[in-house]
Amino acid sequence: IAGITQAPTSQILAAGRRMTLRCTQDMRHNAMYWYRQDLGLGLRLIHYSNTAGTTGKGEVPDGYSVSRANTDDFPLTLASAVPSQTSVYFCASSYAGLSTDTQYFGPGTRLTVL
């Protein structure tokens, strides 16, 4: 059982470039999430999706977009990367998106924007 996979593992990107971070889960979870982790700030929610076809904004959505065409995939796109988007990005999923749910996390993508 793979759980959640993320790609790429790490990436160095020039400012102004477009980048899509990929996330795939094989647990048939309805809800998926994207977080960014920055030193001293913990994890902050960027976007989420409670079910395929729907998405919502989290705490720090500016500069990011997501789509949820099917249950398994939840890509995160940076349309025009800026240095402040340098971070470690984690994708997560949960069974139903309820506030009682356990979230399961991928291994992360380390992104550096120069």
DSSP β-ladder status, 19-25 and 64-66: unpaired
Taking CB under 8 A as the binding criterion, the range among 20-28, 60-68, 69-77, 97-105 that sits at the site for other proteins is: 97-105
Smallest distance, other proteins to C-beta of residue 86, A: 17
- In angstroms, the CA 91 to CA 3 distance is 11
Place of tokens 């989420």: 48
Interaction of residue 40 with other proteins, rule CB under 8 A: yes
Q: Which residues pair with 6 in a beta bridge?
A: 23
Interaction of residue 96 with other proteins, rule CB under 8 A: no
Please say which residue, 14 or 42, places its beta carbon nearer to other proteins. Answer: 42
- Of 48-67, binders to other proteins (CB under 8 A) are 48, 58
DSSP β-ladder status, 10-13 and 109-113: parallel
Interaction of residue 43 with other proteins, rule CB under 8 A: yes
- In angstroms, the CA 114 to CA 24 distance is 27
Q: Which residues bind other proteins (CB under 8 A)?
A: 4, 33, 35, 40-45, 48, 58, 90, 92, 99-100, 102-108
